[in-house]
């Protein structure tokens, strides 16, 4: 009984101590978490608007008249000037083209395609324009048009894709084009092309055609390549008159004569494509490197690359044998001439 009473007493004391300790202990209240507001996102930077593209000026395309012959002359920007029979088309070095039916009023320049960075050559035939262009720095893209204004998306050639096409001409149903390394390709639609000649040791710079006699002629550095049967067979010659000249080649045909200009005031002519006669043009006719030649109304008319007091346009009435200055006949041109065609 005493033991039981003792145990009960101990138990009560323990309970008392436990309760007393709990009353004295102070607990810090748990602070609820305070949610921090999210930092607002930085406002998006507005995209810079695309800078408007200013089309090249057409003011430097001039109309020139020598006697009864009207011509269109371009410049270093408008470097290709082509007569397409009823419409004239001029292309610049950034892929823009403009057209005219009278040589004085020109359409607003329009880019062939946004990624076209240069136009190498243009020809017209069979109701179609064909142009070889550079796309984002890569050459040998071809594009076609029915009106010279709206063009197809440029596609790269599968043939001669590693060679720059430098000259194109239309002859009786077929487009013929030549490359910087003398390869000749042809097409009837301007889309599908095939190789017809490869003379990779030489270079092609210019071309001209004689539809009446089904003849096409390519020339370049020390090279003349021609066909007198519409491109079925080709003859390759190496005229000394073209040797060691790598710039300024241009070729025109008229009244039985093929006349070429090249280099620093140099010219050569032939009637049979076998024998060429060279001519050094006086410095008072042209100022510098030759850039273009055309034919019309019994005259060959050529341009050189820089305007100066010496002149920049000259003409020949005797098949390229002698040349005369036009500096008192034509308007001043403040930029470098490049490209010429006859109006008729």
Taking only the tens of pLDDT, the chain with its 344 residues reads 555 555 555 455 554 444 444 444 444 555 555 556 566 666 666 555 555 567 788 888 888 888 889 999 888 788 899 998 789 999 998 899 999 999 999 999 999 999 999 999 999 999 999 999 999 988 889 999 999 999 999 999 988 777 889 999 999 999 999 998 889 999 999 999 999 998 866 789 999 999 999 999 999 888 899 999 999 999 999 888 877 666 668 999 999 999 999 988 899 999 999 999 999 988 888 877 888 999 999 999 998 876 555 567 899 999 999 999 887 666 666 567 788 999 87
225-to-123, 137, 219, 309 alpha-carbon distances in Å: 19, 29, 6, 36
Distance, in Å, from the CA atom of 75 to the CA atom of 124, rounded to the nearest integer, reads: 21
- Nearest of 135, 225, 112 to residue 177 by alpha carbon: 225
Contact 69, 330 (CB under 8 A): no
In sequence order, the 6+-apart residues with CB closer than 8 A to the CB of 160 are 140, 179, 183, 185, 193, 195
Q: Dihedral sign, CA of 160, 164, 166, 170?
A: positive
What are the percentages of helix, strand and coil residues in the chain, rounded to 5? 10, 45, 50
Distance, in Å, from the CA atom of 273 to the CA atom of 219, rounded to the nearest integer, reads: 11
Distance, in Å, from the CA atom of 144 to the CA atom of 147, rounded to the nearest integer, reads: 9
Distance, in Å, from the CA atom of 15 to the CA atom of 8, rounded to the nearest integer, reads: 11
Q: Taking the model in full, what pTM does it have?
A: 0.82
Burial (Cβ within 10 Å: 0-12, 13-18, ≥19) of residue 133: buried
């Amino acid at each position: 009984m005493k033991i039981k009473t003792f145990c009960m007493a101990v138990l009560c004391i323990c309970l008392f101590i436990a309760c007393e300790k709990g009353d004295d202990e102070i607990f810090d209240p748990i602070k609820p978490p305070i949610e921090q507001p999210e930092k607002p996102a930085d406002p998006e930077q507005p995209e810079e608007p695309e800078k408007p593209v200013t089309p090249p000026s057409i003011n430097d395309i001039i109309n020139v008249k020598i006697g009864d012959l009207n011509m269109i002359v371009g410049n270093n920007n408008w470097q290709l000037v082509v007569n397409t029979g009823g419409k004239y088309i001029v292309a610049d070095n950034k892929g823009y083209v403009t057209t005219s039916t009278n040589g004085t009023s020109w359409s607003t320049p329009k880019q062939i395609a946004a990624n076209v960075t240069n136009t190498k050559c243009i020809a017209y035939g069979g109701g179609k324009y064909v142009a070889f262009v550079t796309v984002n720095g890569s050459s040998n893209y071809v594009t076609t048009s029915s009106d010279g204004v709206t063009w197809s998306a440029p596609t790269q050639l599968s043939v001669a894709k590693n060679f720059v096409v430098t000259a194109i001409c239309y002859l009786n149903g077929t487009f013929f084009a030549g490359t910087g390394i003398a390869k000749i390709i042809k097409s009837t639609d301007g889309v599908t092309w095939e190789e017809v000649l490869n003379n990779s040791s030489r270079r092609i710079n210019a071309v001209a055609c004689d539809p009446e006699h089904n003849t096409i002629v390519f020339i370049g550095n020390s090279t003349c390549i021609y066909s007198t049967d519409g491109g079925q067979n080709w003859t390759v010659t190496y005229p000394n008159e073209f040797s060691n000249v790598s710039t300024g080649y241009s070729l025109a045909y008229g009244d039985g004569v093929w006349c070429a200009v090249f280099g620093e005031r140099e010219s050569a002519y032939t009637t049979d494509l076998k024998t060429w006669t060279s001519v050094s043009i006086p410095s008072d006719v042209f100022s510098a490197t030759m850039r273009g030649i055309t034919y019309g109304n019994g005259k060959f008319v050529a341009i050189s690359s820089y305007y100066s007091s010496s002149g920049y346009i000259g003409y020949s009435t005797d098949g390229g044998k002698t040349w005369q200055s036009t500096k008192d006949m034509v308007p001043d041109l403040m930029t470098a001439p490049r490209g010429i065609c006859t109006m008729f």
